A = this chain, B = another copy of it.
Amino acid sequence: MTQALTKLLLRPDFILVGGNNWKPIKNGELLVENDRILYVGPRRQYEGREIDREIEGKNKLIMPGLVNAHTHAAMTLFRGYADDMALMNWLEKKIWPAEARLTPEDIYWGTMLAIGEMIRGGITCFADMYFHMDMVAQACLESGIRAALSQGLIGLDKAKGAAGIIESKNIVSRWHGAGEGRITIMLGPHAPYTCPPQYLVEVMEVAADLDLPLHIHLAETRNEVKESLQKHNKRPVELMDSIGLFQHKVLAAHCVHLSQEEINILASKGVAIAHNPGSNLKLGSGIAPLADLLKEGALVALGTDGAASNNNLDILEELRLAALLAKGSQEDPSLIPAHQALDMATLNGVKSLFLEDGLGVLKTHSPADIIMLDLEKPHLNPLHELDAHLVYAAQSSDVEMVMVKGKILMEKRRLLTIDEERVFYEANTRATHLTY
């Protein structure tokens, strides 16, 4: 028995298709058939029987879903637990002891809390690096969000490093392509300072064998650069280049402290960069050279990092921060114009996660990962330029509807796949035990 095709029609006042095109289509329409977009353009005539459902779109805007290119979802459990502290103090006294107590069930509920928050903020896809990734994948499967997941690998201890690789392979076999392709797996060597070159070479071999991208933290702090120079006589990006890492598909998170030479390497080797301005500021890591990276043609997406170092998972906030910070730190208001910031949060995001073509843009045959915003808000009026409104004025709470692969995950601000009351209860109960 085959299921009949489902056709869903959206007729919002404005459609922003994305993919370097943020000029709105006024009074157009978008037709979704099952999990894909069948049509975007001027309104046409339909007879009632051709359409299963129409979503009302007065004073609404639709656009591609937002992508969170770097997070540690379950760290929501530590949101507001330890703040305003020096980095090593924060890690050693607070975060690592609490993380050591995390059970798989904690990870499941912490991830569910994160996914609920992300859906509410219009995020349809995220890249996660953490542990107990079976639980993370399970939460993604149930909630309907799209995700590229990587088990964090630490190679400082030979036996643990080897066990991590085996575990990663198991996760690949269990989850890569799950949820009809919604869930993909990346390999997650944590960072150059926790994964020595020899170990990274092993990970790269697995990546080549299984054709998987890599997700790594890179050049996050001034101290990382200093220690890399002391130990390897090379800066982190130079070191990674020298061992051939960038011959693979790589998503590099942070990339704050870069020489011009390293900027050129990242751009010329096509390394995907997850820029995390909120976390980099809050942890005192610094300000990444975003405008320079983009000028050299680097692929830059946006990440929130974990909620312990941000403290929310709000990509609209990150995209605003990315644009403002570049303008202000370089005293040039023309840097990172609105459309460029929007590309970072959408198309660059799916490219950085090495997902299928068509995602990140609203066009025929694209997977239907779509969000709808309500424009009846004082901060979004009057309706001058909508791309500027999205970047400089919108809030994640303006997102009213979220759809991934044609399935509605939030409608009228109500989550349809997550029992939020239960998630709050579990998160609070578990957080209390974790952070005594």
A→B interface (CB under 8 Å)? 76-81, 83-87, 90, 113-114, 116-117, 120, 222, 278, 280-287, 307, 310-314, 321, 323-325, 327-338, 376-379, 381-386, 388-389, 392-393, 395-397, 420, 423-424, 427-428, 430-432, 435
Contacts and interface: CB of A to CB of B under 8 A. Distances in A.
A119 to B, nearest CB: 9
Given A284-B333, A311-B388, A379-B117, A338 B83 contact: yes
A336 to B, nearest CB: 8
B312 A382 contact: no
Given A113-B381, A282-B327, A381-B428, A311 B389 contact: yes
B327 A281 contact: yes
A56 to B, nearest CB: 17
B428 A382 contact: yes
A431 B287 contact: no
B311 A281 contact: no
A26 to B, nearest CB: 14
Contact of A378 (B81, B116, B285, B392): B116
Contacts of A435: 384
Contact of A424 (B287, B334, B381, B424): B381
Given A80-B382, A282-B328, A310-B392, 20 more contacts: A80-B384, A84-B334, A85-B333, A120-B378, A280-B328, A281-B324, A282-B324, A284-B334, A284-B335, A286-B328, A287-B329, A311-B379, A311-B388, A314-B379, A325-B325, A378-B423, A378-B424, A381-B428, A384-B435, A395-B396
Given A376-B424, A420-B378, A428-B381, A282 B81 contact: no
A393 B333 contact: no
Nearest to A424: B381
13 contacts: A76-B378, A83-B337, A83-B338, A84-B334, A84-B337, A120-B377, A282-B324, A284-B328, A284-B332, A284-B333, A285-B331, A311-B379, A395-B396
Contacts of A278: 324
Contacts of A281: 324-325, 327-329
Of A222, A287, A386, chain B has the most CB atoms within 10 Å of the CB of A287
A384 to B, nearest CB: 4
Contacts of A381: 76, 79, 113, 424, 427-428
Of A77, A338, A395, A427, chain B has the most CB atoms within 10 Å of the CB of A395
Contacts of A321: 321, 324
A286 to B, nearest CB: 5
Contacts of A396: 395
Contacts of A116: 378
- Report the 8 A-B pairs with minimum CB-CB distance, sorted nearest first: A281-B328, A382-B431, A117-B378, A284-B333, A80-B384, A397-B397, A311-B392, A281-B324
